[in-house]
C-alpha cells in the first residue's frame, strides 16, 4: 500500500466503556506463529486520548498466547529507538553514530532554521566529521546535544504555560494536558506521572504522581487559574479558603482516603501502582499580584493542613523557571569541567 494512500481507521468503544479499541495490525502471520498489535485509547476528560498498545503473540501449534501492553511513554521510547535504529541501518559500517533530528532540534532548542541548516551542513562535512572523530568524544558530543535539546524543551514548556496563563479563555483541560506532558514541573520529588486515573468506583483523579524516594503515589488536583484561592475576613482579621479551594480540598480528602484503601498493596488491575498515606497537591488561581501578607497567609493556611498543599499557577511557573535555571547552570558547569579536564 502506498504511504500517501488514505487509510480508514475504525475506533470503537470496548464493552466496559472505559476505553476504545482501534483496528488490529497483523505484524507477522506464518504457519507457526501470529503476532498482532491492538491499539486502545484512554479518554481523559475531554482532552486528547492516550494511546496504549497491546502486542499479542499466538503459537499456532500449541495455542499458547503471550501478551504485553505498552503505555504511551513506552511507545514514545520505542518509536524514537526504531527511528534511530533505521537511520543507523542505512550505514554500511559498524561504529559509534550520533543520530540527530534537525527538524526537531530547531523548535526545541529555540534556534532559527538557518542555525539548524548550518548544523546540518557542518555535520555533513567530511572535514568537520573527521575533526570531531579525532578531537571530540562522541559520547560527550551526544550528551551536549541532548542537553541543549532538553533545555530547549523545558524552555518551550515554560513559554507555553506563560501563554496559557495570559489567555483567560483556557479551561482546566488545557492545564491538565500541560501537566501531563511536563510532570517535571513538580520538581525532583516525583519521577513521572501515571496513565492511571481511576482509583475507585466514581473517583477519578487529575494525575497520579510517583514519588522519587518511595515509589508510592501522590495525587495532583488541577483547578482553573481564574478561581479565587484565599479570602480575607476584615472583621475577624483572618484569611480563609475560598469556596473553590475548600471544595478542591474536600475532593482531595475523599481521593486520599480512597487511594490509601485501594492501593496500599497495589491497585487491583495495576499492582505496580501503590500508595500509603498519600499526599495531594492542589493547583488553583493566580498570585502574581499578591502582596507579602497574602503570600504569608497562604503559607500559614498550608502549614496547618495535613497531607494536602495548595499552590497557585504562578508559584508553579516560578518553580519551573527555578528548575530550568538550575539545570542550565548544572549543564554549563559540566561543560566547563570537561573543557578544563
Q: Residue 122 above 90 pLDDT?
A: no
Q: What's the pLDDT tens digit per position in 33-78? A: 999 998 888 887 656 778 888 899 998 888 888 888 888 878 888 8
Q: Residue 79 above 80 pLDDT?
A: yes
- 107: Cβ contacts below 8 Å, ≥ 6 apart: 152, 156
What pLDDT was estimated at residue 281?
95
- Lowest model confidence (mean pLDDT) among 56-60, 126-130, 174-178: 126-130
Q: Residue 111 above 50 pLDDT?
A: no
Dihedral sign, Cα of residue 317, residue 318, residue 324, residue 328 = positive
Q: Residue 105 above 50 pLDDT?
A: no
Q: Residue 219 above 90 pLDDT?
A: yes
- Lowest model confidence (mean pLDDT) among 60-64, 71-75, 241-245, 336-340: 336-340
239/140: higher pLDDT: 239
127/152: higher pLDDT: 152
Predicted confidence band of residue 225 (pLDDT cuts 50, 70, 90): very high
What pLDDT was estimated at residue 120?
55
110/23: higher pLDDT: 23
What pLDDT was estimated at residue 248?
96
Q: Residue 128 above 70 pLDDT?
A: no
Predicted confidence band of residue 106 (pLDDT cuts 50, 70, 90): very low
What pTM value is reported for the model? 0.60
Query: Among residues 335, 327, 321, 316, which one has the least CA distance to residue 220?
Result: 316
2/27: higher pLDDT: 27
Dihedral sign, Cα of residue 147, residue 153, residue 159, residue 162 = negative
Q: What's the rounded mean pLDDT across residues 110-121?
A: 50
Amino acid at each position: 500500500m502506498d504511504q500517501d494512500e488514505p487509510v480508514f481507521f475504525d475506533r470503537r468503544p470496548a464493552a466496559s466503556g472505559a476505553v476504545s479499541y482501534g483496528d488490529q495490525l497483523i505484524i507477522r502471520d506464518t504457519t507457526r506463529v501470529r503476532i498482532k498489535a491492538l491499539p486502545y485509547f484512554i479518554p481523559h476528560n475531554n482532552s486528547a486520548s492516550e494511546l496504549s498498545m497491546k502486542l499479542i503473540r499466538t503459537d499456532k501449534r500449541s495455542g499458547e498466547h503471550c501478551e504485553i501492553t505498552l503505555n504511551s511513554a513506552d511507545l514514545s521510547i520505542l518509536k524514537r529507538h526504531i527511528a534511530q535504529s533505521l537511520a543507523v541501518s542505512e550505514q554500511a559500517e559498524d561504529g559509534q553514530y550520533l543520530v540527530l533530528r534537525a527538524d526537531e532540534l530547531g523548535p526545541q532548542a529555540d534556534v532559527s532554521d538557518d542555525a539548524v541548516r548550518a548544523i546540518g551542513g557542518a555535520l555533513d562535512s567530511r572535514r568537520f566529521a573527521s575533526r570531531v572523530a579525532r578531537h571530540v568524544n562522541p559520547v560527550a558530543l551526544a550528551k551536549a546535544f541532548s542537553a541543549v535539546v532538553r533545555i530547549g524543551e523545558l524552555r518551550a514548556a515554560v513559554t507555553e504555560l506563560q501563554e496559557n496563563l495570559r489567555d483567560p479563555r483556557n479551561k482546566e483541560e488545557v492545564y491538565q494536558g500541560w501537566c501531563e506532558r511536563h510532570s517535571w514541573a513538580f520538581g525532583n520529588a516525583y519521577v513521572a506521572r501515571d496513565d492511571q486515573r481511576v482509583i475507585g468506583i466514581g473517583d477519578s483523579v487529575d494525575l497520579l504522581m510517583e514519588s522519587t524516594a518511595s515509589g508510592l503515589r501522590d495525587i495532583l488536583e488541577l483547578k482553573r487559574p481564574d478561581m479565587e484561592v484565599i479570602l480575607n475576613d476584615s472583621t475577624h482579621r483572618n484569611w480563609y479558603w475560598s469556596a473553590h479551594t475548600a471544595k478542591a480540598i474536600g475532593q482531595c480528602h475523599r481521593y486520599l482516603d480512597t487511594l490509601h484503601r485501594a492501593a496500599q498493596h497495589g491497585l487491583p488491575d495495576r499492582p505496580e501502582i501503590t500508595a500509603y498515606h498519600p499526599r495531594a497537591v492542589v493547583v488553583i488561581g493566580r498570585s502574581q499580584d499578591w502582596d507579602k501578607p497574602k503570600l504569608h497567609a497562604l503559607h500559614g493556611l498550608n502549614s496547618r493542613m495535613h497531607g494536602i498543599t495548595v499552590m497557585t499557577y504562578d508559584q508553579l511557573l516560578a518553580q519551573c523557571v527555578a528548575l530550568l535555571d538550575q539545570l542550565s547552570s548544572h549543564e554549563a558547569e559540566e561543560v566547563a569541567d570537561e573543557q578544563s579536564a
